[in-house]
Amino acid sequence: MADHRTGGTWDVIVTPWHLDEHIPDFPIPAAATQVDFPVLLSGTVPARMSLLHRAALDAVAQAARPLVLSGDCPTSRAVVAGLRRRHRDLAVLWLDAHGDFNDPVISTSATSAAWRWPC
pLDDT value of residue 97: 59
Name which of 45, 103, 102, 36 is nearest 74 in CA terms: 45
Which residues of the chain are under the pLDDT cut of 70?
Answer: 1-8, 96-119
d(CA 61, CA 68): 12
d(CA 50, CA 103): 26
pLDDT value of residue 118: 41
pLDDT value of residue 37: 81
